[in-house]
Amino acid sequence: MLDFLFYCFLGILFTYIILLVLILMGDCDLYLQFASKFGKKPSALKGKVVWITGASSGIGECLAYELAKAGCKLCLSARREQELNRVKKQCLLHGNIKEEDILVLPLDALKFETHSSATQDVLKYFSKIDILVNNAGRSQRALFEETSLDIDREVIELNVLGVLSLTKQVLPHMLERKEGHIAVMSSIAGKLSAPSSASYTGSKHAIQGWFSTLGVEMSDRNIKVTLLCPGPVFSNLLETAFTGKAGEELKGKMESSEKRMSTPRCAELCALALANGLDEAWIALNPVLLFTYMFQYFPNLSRVGSKRMGLKMLKKIREGKV
């Protein structure tokens, strides 16, 4: 009996060591790692109609390229029509789709009153919406004490209420068809306590709450809900980020030496998460990925450790400087 328990202990210990090694060597969570090796490829989405907001730059732009290569039909939305047309051109050059398979639909996520007509425009053009990718949003950088309530309100309206508004327009169509997929660009900041960006972090925690609940409610109605949680990624995110004052942009620049994931790699992993219908996907390099696991499974210990590390070190980690 003792020998049996000993070998069980060794087996469990060996399993945990393997999982830890995979986490340390990986750039995404274990479920997504498994899906990338043994699951469906993005090509499984061929022919699906995908509506991407915030498609004019960053992750949204690169995700459009990934899905175009997979053969998806795309609706590209953002405020800047000229940039959307540029993305469309690249999709046609490198993708597996025709010009009629792409709809450029300018959209301001903050103009909630236009979301209903925009949804109808997509349905009129494609007759259906298979996947909605809520990607539009902005980051924020300032200490809690330096952030005005006006900024809190602006961040919540864009990152949360804008996402809810569009989803509430598309969801009835999916329920009527009895199939669909809602994806939301959350963040690792929605899983952790990211310093110097309380408004942004709070908005992503809110997204996690709203859409994880939606996922439970839709679990027996054939509607998938995926929360995409990237960590530090190279993009123009810092240029347009809110600060602590209304009407001000950070105008920050990312340095090539920073430890951030490339935008195309992040988009590739997002496409894999969509193809496999994952509930949640963590997409980050280490040490951020390891921190996410620590906060998920050892929250109290992780909070004590993060406080001891100090604000300066935590800011360096979240900006890819460690």
State the SS3 of 256-273.
Answer: CCCCCECHHHHHHHHHHH
Within a 10 A sphere around the Cβ of 110, how many other Cβ atoms? 14
- Helix-helix angle 81-94:58-69, to 10 degrees: 30
Residue 209 to residue 6: CA distance in whole angstroms: 41
Tokens of 103: 């709809």
The answer to whether 270 touches 229, Cβ cutoff 8 Å, is no
Does the annotation count 16 as an active-site position? Answer: no
Tokens of 253: 């620049």
The answer to whether 20 touches 27, Cβ cutoff 8 Å, is no
Instruction: Please classify residue 49 by burial: count the beta carbons closer than 10 Å to its beta carbon, then call 0-12 exposed, 13-18 middle and 19+ buried.
Output: buried
Give the DSSP letter string of 272-310: HHHHTT-SEEEE--TTHHHHHHHHHH-HHHHHHHHHHH-
Residue 148 to residue 110: CA distance in whole angstroms: 19
Contacting residues for 263 by C-beta, under 8 A, at least 6 apart: 58, 59, 61, 62, 233, 234, 235
Residue 311 to residue 313: CA distance in whole angstroms: 6
Which of 7, 16, 65, 200 is an active site residue? Answer: 200
Give the DSSP letter string of 158-223: IIIIHHHHHHHHHHHHHHHHT-EEEEEE--GGGTS--TTBHHHHHHHHHHHHHHHHHHHHTTTTTE
Instruction: Determine if the peptide bond prior to 287 is cis (ω within 30°).
Output: yes
Q: Annotated catalytic sites, by residue?
A: 200
